Structure 1
């Protein structure tokens, strides 16, 4: 396969003005950047201490924990101290 040779521009060949803007469009859709979790797989937030059971809380507001977005109504397993903090700040429903 051969590459076509470029021909030099002459006075008869129209050229684009220097301030012309070329629009580039893409047809690819961007993936959503933040994942949405509906079922807790593990304890989120601070790690558990030894011999401490995780607590399930129902979130009252949108919240991002460890880079993951949670919607209102989602149930998450958390450290009991973190659950108390979330309830105090109004991010989790009172039990």
Structure 2
């Protein structure tokens, strides 16, 4: 990827949302909410503390994460819609 996030920023590709509800009703595009799950594409080097030491991030490329509904900034890179957010906006990482 020709894009490297800085500091504690993470680049995420949103995962596709279900087309049907649990009851089998097809959800039109206009009624869908943006997914809050994604795959980490790239991570920054980490955040610096007061002494200038860099602390690496807890997530890595390939991790599947959950993030806040209104988190991050949307960007378009090489035709892909991506999201750049801070590590603190990540709620959790799926294990296994």
TM-score under structure 1 length normalisation? 0.26
Structure with the higher strand share, 1 or 2: 2
Higher CA-based Rg: 1
TM-score under structure 2 length normalisation? 0.26
Structure with the higher helix share, 1 or 2: 1
> Using CA pairs below 8 Å that are at least 6 residues apart, which structure has the higher relative contact order?
2
